[in-house]
Amino acid sequence: MRRNSLYFAGGIGSTLAIAAVIEITGGLPSQLAHLYYIPVVISALMLPAKLRLTVALLASVAVSPLPDLLHGPLGLNTYYDDPAPWNLSSGGWIVRPVAFFAVSTVASAIIKERAAKAEAEAGAKLLGERLIQERTAKHITMATSKHRGKELNLLSRIDKMILGGATETEALREIARLTAAFTGSPVAGIVVPDEHGKLLQMFYGHSEASERLAEERLPIGEGVSGWAIMHGTVATSPNVFNDARYMKMAEFARRAGYTSAAAAPIVLDDEVLGALFVGRADEHNFTSDELATLQRIADQTAIAVASARQRHSLEELAHETAIALSDAIESRDPYTGDHCSRLAEYATLTATALGLAAKDVQSIRLGAALHDIGKITVPDHVLKKPDKLTPDEYAIIKQHCYSGGQICKRVPFLHVAYPIVYHHHERFDGRGYPDGLKGDRIPLGARIVTVVDAYDAMTSDRPYRKALPLAEAETILRDGTGTQWDPEIVDTFLSAMDTAAKREPTLSRLEHSLL
Ligand SMILES: [Fe+2]
C-alpha cells in the first residue's frame, strides 16, 4: 500500500513537473510533451488500474485544450491556434491521450501475462528441481540398498565360513580378502597384538603390497589400528601423513600404499582381540555408514574367531582322547612307544603338504592316532607273539580293522576317522585287507596312514629287530610305491620330512631319537 502511494505521488508529481517545464519553456507545442510517457508508462507498470488511469488522465488533460482556459486570461499561447501539424489542430490532439490510456491498460495486461508466464516457468523449474531431487533421493536409496545388499552378502559369506569349519587362520585371511574387495581398498587386514602384547602385526593384507608387509611388526598403540585396539572404538584418519598417530608408521603407510585409513576393534567377551583395518590410496573422510559397516564386519569376525576357537578346543579334546585311548592299547606292547603320536604328526605333515583343507588335515590326524584302536579286541597271546602267526591268528589280527571301525562308528566325534581306521591295511595294488580296494579307491587318509605307519614301524626298535637307518627305510618305501603304497604320497611324505627337518630342529631331533 505504501509502495503504491509512493509510485502514485511520483506519477502525479512528475506529470505536473513536465507540464510546468513545458509552460516555462513556451508551452505546447513542445518536443518535451513526449516526456509525459515516462510517468504514464511507469504508473502502468507499477500501479493498480485506478491509480495508473488517474495518472494517464492527468497527462491527457495536460496535452488537451483544457489548459487553454487559463492560457487566454494569462496571455499565453493556445494550442488550437498553433499551426504546427504535430499540434493536431483538427482535433487530433485526442490521439496522445488515447495512447496514454492504451499504455495504461495494455501494458498492465502484458505485464500480467509475462508475470504469469514467469511464474509458470519458475513453477516448472521448481517441479524439475523437485523431480531431480526425488530422482537423486531414489538413486541414493537404491545405492544404499545395493550397498546394504553387498554387505549382507559379505556377512553371509562369513557365516558360511564359520559353519563350514574354517580355522581361525583361514577365517581371518578370508575376511581380510572379502573386506578389501567389499570396500574397494587396496590394503585391508586383521591387526592383532603379538604373543608379547607389545607389537602389532599386519595379517593377511589383500594387496600385493600388504602381503609383502604381512609379517612386519608395528609399534603398539600407533595408527588407527593401535588406537582401535587400545580404546576399543572405531578409529579413522583422512590423511595418515598429517596424523600424529602415524609419526612412527608414516614410512610403513607409504610402502603399504595408503593415505587414509579406518579400523574397527574385534571384541570377543569384552576382550579386544585385534582390529579390522582398511586403507585407501586417496585422502578420504570415512562416512558414518562406512564406519558402521566396518564395525559390523569386525563383530562378525569376532564370532568367526570364537567359533573357530571353540571348534579347535573340541578337536583338541577329541585328539587328546584318541591319543589317550591309543596309548592305553599300546601300553600292552611297550616297544611301540609313542607310535600313535608320531603317526599323527607324520600324517598331519603329509596332509598339509598335499594342500588339503584344515578340517581334512584334522580328520587325518585323528584317524592316524586311532588307526590301531581295534587291537583292543586282539588277545595278548596273539598280539605279542614273537613267532610267525598261524593262519587263524593272522585272521584274528586282521579283525582289528573291523573292530576299530566299529568303535569309530559308535562315537560321534570319531566318525571322521572311520575310513582311515577301517582301511589302513589296504594296499595300493589291491592286495590288502579288509576290502582289497585298489589305487584311488582307497580313502586318501588311509593311503597316507599306510605310508607313515610303515615308515614309523621300520624306524622304530621292535622285539625281534633294531630300527632301520632312515635312508634304508626311505629306499624300502620308494621300492614299494605302486604296489604297497601310493607313489605320490610317498614322495610328498619324504620331501615334507626333509623340508621339516631343515626348518624344525625339533623334528630333526625326533628323527634322530628314532635311530
Ligand atoms: Fe594296524
Q: Is the pLDDT of residue 502 over 60?
A: yes
Distance 483 CA to ligand 1 centre (A): 18
Sorting pLDDT into bands at 50, 70 and 90, what band is 340?
Answer: confident
Distance 435 CA to ligand 1 centre (A): 14
> What are phi and psi for residue 476, nearest 5 degrees?
-60, -40
How high is the pLDDT of residue 338? 76
Task: Give me the DSSP letters along 147-171.
Answer: HHHHHHHHHHHHHHHHHTT--HHHH
Q: Is the pLDDT of residue 199 over 50?
A: yes
Q: Is the pLDDT of residue 210 over 60?
A: no
Residue ranges per domain, the chain?
Answer: 2-116, 143-309, 332-514
Distance 372 CA to ligand 1 centre (A): 5
Q: Is the pLDDT of residue 108 over 70?
A: no
Q: Is the pLDDT of residue 99 over 80?
A: no
Question: Mean pLDDT across the stretch 80-84?
Answer: 55
Distance 496 CA to ligand 1 centre (A): 23
Question: Mean pLDDT across the stretch 222-233?
Answer: 87
Distance CA 494, CA 508 (A): 13
- 143-309 carries CATH number 3.30.450.40: yes
Distance 401 CA to ligand 1 centre (A): 7
What is the sign of the dihedral through the CA atoms of 305, 308, 309 and 310? positive
Distance 402 CA to ligand 1 centre (A): 10
Distance 400 CA to ligand 1 centre (A): 7
Q: Is the pLDDT of residue 139 over 50?
A: yes
Distance 256 CA to ligand 1 centre (A): 53
How high is the pLDDT of residue 85? 44
How high is the pLDDT of residue 206? 53
Of 113-122, 266-275, 434-443, the poorest mean pLDDT is in 113-122
| Mean predicted lDDT score pLDDT of the chain | 80
Distance 410 CA to ligand 1 centre (A): 19
123, 177, 120: which is closest to 154 by C-alpha?
177
Question: Mean pLDDT across the stretch 399-425?
Answer: 91
Distance 491 CA to ligand 1 centre (A): 22
Distance 143 CA to ligand 1 centre (A): 62
Of 20-24, 48-52, 203-207, 264-268, the poorest mean pLDDT is in 203-207
List the Cα angle 147/152/156 in 5-degree steps. Answer: 150
Sorting pLDDT into bands at 50, 70 and 90, what band is 205?
Answer: low
How high is the pLDDT of residue 515? 30
Distance 306 CA to ligand 1 centre (A): 37
Q: Say if residues 367 and 423 touch (Cβ distance below 8 Å).
A: no
Distance CA 267, CA 233 (A): 10
Distance 381 CA to ligand 1 centre (A): 17
Distance 327 CA to ligand 1 centre (A): 14
Q: Kindly report the length of the chain.
A: 515
Distance 380 CA to ligand 1 centre (A): 15
How high is the pLDDT of residue 93? 65
Q: What is the dihedral of CA 99, 100, 106, 110, to 10 degrees?
A: 110
Distance 428 CA to ligand 1 centre (A): 16
Question: Mean pLDDT across the stretch 331-348?
Answer: 78
SS (H, E, C) 280-302: ECCCCCCCHHHHHHHHHHHHHHH
- 332-514 carries CATH number 3.40.630.30: no
Question: Mean pLDDT across the stretch 442-471?
Answer: 89
Q: Is the pLDDT of residue 204 over 60?
A: no
Sorting pLDDT into bands at 50, 70 and 90, what band is 65?
Answer: confident
Question: Mean pLDDT across the stretch 141-167?
Answer: 72
Percent of the chain with pLDDT over 90: 23
How high is the pLDDT of residue 300? 86
Distance 247 CA to ligand 1 centre (A): 62
Question: Mean pLDDT across the stretch 436-456?
Answer: 95
How high is the pLDDT of residue 508? 39
Separation in Å, CA 66 to CA 85, 104, 293, 408, 512: 19, 21, 88, 130, 140
Distance CA 347, CA 427 (A): 17
Sorting pLDDT into bands at 50, 70 and 90, what band is 450?
Answer: very high
Higher-confidence residue of 485 and 331: namely 485
How high is the pLDDT of residue 194? 72
Q: Is the pLDDT of residue 366 over 70?
A: yes
Distance 454 CA to ligand 1 centre (A): 10
Distance 353 CA to ligand 1 centre (A): 24
Distance 341 CA to ligand 1 centre (A): 14
Distance 446 CA to ligand 1 centre (A): 11
Percent of the chain with pLDDT over 70: 81
Q: Is the pLDDT of residue 420 over 90?
A: yes
Q: Is the pLDDT of residue 29 over 80?
A: no
Distance CA 153, CA 163 (A): 15
How high is the pLDDT of residue 133? 66
How high is the pLDDT of residue 131? 62
Distance 375 CA to ligand 1 centre (A): 8
How high is the pLDDT of residue 514? 33
Distance 134 CA to ligand 1 centre (A): 75
Distance 424 CA to ligand 1 centre (A): 7
Strand order in the sheet with 199-203: 217-219, 199-203, 187-193, 271-280, 260-268, 235-237
How high is the pLDDT of residue 303? 86
Q: Looking at mean pLDDT, say which of 56-70, 79-93, 153-167, 471-485 comes out highest.
A: 471-485
Distance 398 CA to ligand 1 centre (A): 8
Separation in Å, CA 32 to CA 25, 81, 379: 9, 19, 142
Does the N-terminal peptide bond of residue 238 adopt cis geometry, omega within 30 degrees of 0?
A: no
Q: Is the pLDDT of residue 291 over 70?
A: yes
Alpha-helical (H) ranges within 268-356 are: 288-330, 339-353
Sorting pLDDT into bands at 50, 70 and 90, what band is 510?
Answer: very low
Global pTM value: 0.51
Q: What kind and span of H or E run contains 109? A: helix 95-163
Higher-confidence residue of 191 and 94: namely 191
How high is the pLDDT of residue 176? 83
Q: Is the pLDDT of residue 11 over 60?
A: yes
DSSP label at residue 390: P
* Amino acid at site 162: I
Higher-confidence residue of 160 and 346: namely 346
Distance 84 CA to ligand 1 centre (A): 141
Distance 499 CA to ligand 1 centre (A): 28
Distance CA 275, CA 212 (A): 19
Distance 343 CA to ligand 1 centre (A): 12
CA 68 to chain centre: 94
Distance 350 CA to ligand 1 centre (A): 19
Helical packing angle, 95-163 and 168-183, nearest 10° = 170
Q: Is the pLDDT of residue 230 over 90?
A: no
How high is the pLDDT of residue 462? 72
Alpha-helical (H) ranges within 354-416 are: 358-370, 380-383, 391-410
List the Cα angle 21/22/23 in 5-degree steps. Answer: 90
Question: Mean pLDDT across the stretch 27-34?
Answer: 73
How high is the pLDDT of residue 198? 56
Distance 359 CA to ligand 1 centre (A): 24
Higher-confidence residue of 88 and 234: namely 234
Distance 344 CA to ligand 1 centre (A): 14
Distance 312 CA to ligand 1 centre (A): 27
Distance 126 CA to ligand 1 centre (A): 87
How high is the pLDDT of residue 506? 43
